[in-house]
């Protein structure tokens, strides 16, 4: 007569069989290896605009299509300053205006007549002239606010060829709030100056850096 095996031994054998079957099933599952770490793609830095081959820029008086002479003067003053910070040498307005007056006097033309870039550039030793056109400069007074808008066109023309080598149309807006017209006028005066400066800054920021920054000779 065969004695029955102990219950404990039977349970151990069953667990062993189950464990072996489980390992065999796991072996059939493909192993997923660790993927290499991929860092977040860095934003592409926009390429710097190419050099224009210009060292000195003569800033001509602003041509006023719309707006006031005060706005035109502010644009020209700010433009000369921003061009200097951009790396271009300053040519004083006194020299530019005197050269323009001399050319017009010799030609017998009117004070606002156009002077070719080749002529004025040769007299001043400039590489290019900046021709600015004031297209819009106004403040509209509403009930409790006054929107301010300034638009200008900036064109850099080569002294060698007279061609436009850089061009940008810039526009800036802002508004002032007030209860009375007097308060609006006081506030909008300061805002108007800020908007004019923003218009110039926006344009010059698009201009390639000058030799004082790039180190070009």
For the chain, domain boundaries: 57-211
Q: What is the mean pLDDT of the chain?
A: 78
Phi and psi at 5, nearest 5°, equal -70, 155
Which overall architecture, per CATH, does domain 57-211 show?
3-Layer(aba) Sandwich (3.40)
pTM for this model (two decimals): 0.71
At residue 2, the pLDDT reads 45
Local confidence band at 43 (pLDDT 50, 70, 90 cut-offs): very low
Beta strands in the chain (DSSP E): 57-59, 63-64, 128-139, 145-158, 164-177
174 vs 2, higher pLDDT:
174
Q: Is the pLDDT of residue 39 over 70?
A: no
Local confidence band at 53 (pLDDT 50, 70, 90 cut-offs): confident
104 vs 109, higher pLDDT:
104
At residue 22, the pLDDT reads 54
48 and 209 in contact (C-beta within 8 Å)? yes
Gap between the Cα atoms of 151 and 66, Å rounded: 9
52 and 83 in contact (C-beta within 8 Å)? no
Helix axes 93-107, 117-124, angle to 10 degrees: 130
Range of weakest confidence among 36-40, 100-104, 127-131, 185-189: 36-40
At residue 87, the pLDDT reads 95
Q: What is the DSSP string of 114-131?
A: ---HHHHHHHHT-SEEEE
Gap between the Cα atoms of 73 and 59, Å rounded: 12
3-state secondary structure of 185: helix
């Amino acid at each position: 007569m065969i004695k029955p095996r102990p219950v404990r031994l039977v349970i151990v054998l069953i667990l062993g069989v189950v464990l072996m079957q489980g390992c065999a099933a796991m072996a059939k599952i493909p192993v997923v290896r660790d993927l290499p770490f991929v860092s977040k793609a860095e934003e592409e830095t926009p390429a710097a605009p190419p050099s224009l081959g210009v060292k000195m820029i003569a800033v001509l008086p602003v041509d006023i299509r719309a707006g006031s002479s005060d706005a035109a003067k502010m644009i020209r003053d700010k433009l000369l300053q921003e061009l200097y910070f951009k790396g271009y040498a300053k040519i004083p307005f006194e020299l530019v205006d005197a050269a323009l007056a001399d050319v017009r006097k010799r030609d017998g033309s009117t004070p606002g007549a156009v002077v070719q870039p080749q002529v004025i550039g040769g007299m001043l030793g400039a590489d290019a002239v900046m021709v600015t056109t004031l297209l819009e400069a106004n403040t509209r007074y509403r009930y409790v606010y006054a929107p301010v808008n300034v638009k200008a066109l900036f064109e850099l023309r080569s002294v060698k060829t007279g061609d436009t080598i850089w061009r940008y149309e810039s526009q800036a807006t802002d508004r002032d709030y007030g209860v009375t017209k007097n308060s609006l006028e006081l506030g909008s005066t300061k805002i108007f100056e800020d908007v004019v400066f923003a218009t110039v800054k926006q344009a010059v920021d698009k201009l390639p850096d000058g030799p004082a920054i790039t180190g070009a000779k």
